[in-house]
Amino acid sequence: MIKKCSPAVFGIALICFFLPWLDVSCSGQKVITFSGIQLATGKTIDGPTMFGQKQQKRIGGEPLAIIPLLATLAAIGLGFAKHRQGAIGPAVAGAIGALFLLLLKAKIDDTVFRESGGVLKVEYTGAFYLTLILYLAGIAIGVYPLLQGRGALAPAMGRAEKTAFCTQCGAENQGDNRYCCECGAKIENEGS
């Protein structure tokens, strides 16, 4: 049941990419705002007017923002996979996304401070932090079944146990489970 939450968690994280992630301000005045998608794909900003024409500058996509976006898409796809990838795949993608999101934050903070001499200030919005929290939740969702001993890696780790299949949803369960780990239906084991 909990595994089915994984695509939803990462789907919400994907939506967060379209929300404002950070504001750059100077003396308390907001100068520019970036969403997660704009950090990943780039953004054109207006500069000062020179000789009657507005100058525009293109800020290219940041690879440290592209990787979390790709990890989010991968986690959504892997969340629908059966067996091993369905349990551990989204957790690994969530860990990659969280790691690169923190690296992105550190790089932006450092770059803005160095290039502006401390004049500009970066403020991260709730959508940025929500994305990070959703990655951590995705990791927990993927790791929880493994910690419960019902994970997809338990047989691969040397435990040769009997398995039983749920007659309601068809999910594979450990042979000693009395209730299905996916839908909660009672499992009729041979010995019971």
Tokens for 155? Answer: 């047989």
CB 84 within 8 A of CB 156: yes
Predicted confidence at residue 96, as pLDDT, reads 96
Three-class secondary structure of residue 58 per DSSP: strand
pTM of the entire structure? Answer: 0.69
**Cβ–Cβ under 8 Å, residues 181 and 168:** no
Q: CA 30, CA 23: separation in Å to the nearest integer?
A: 7
pLDDT for 9 equals 92
Q: Supply the pLDDT for residue 170.
A: 81
| pLDDT score of 72 | 95
The class that CATH gives domain 2-152 is mainly alpha
Question: Residue 153 has what pLDDT?
Answer: 46
Q: Per residue of the chain (192 residues), what is the pLDDT tens digit?
A: 555 788 899 999 999 999 999 999 998 899 889 999 999 998 887 765 556 566 667 777 889 999 999 999 999 988 877 665 456 888 899 999 999 999 999 999 999 899 888 899 999 999 999 999 999 999 998 888 777 765 444 445 444 467 788 888 888 887 778 888 888 888 876 544
Longest dimension (CA), the chain: 87
Specify whether the CB–CB gap between 24 and 83 falls below 8 A.
Answer: no
Look at the chain and count its residues: 192
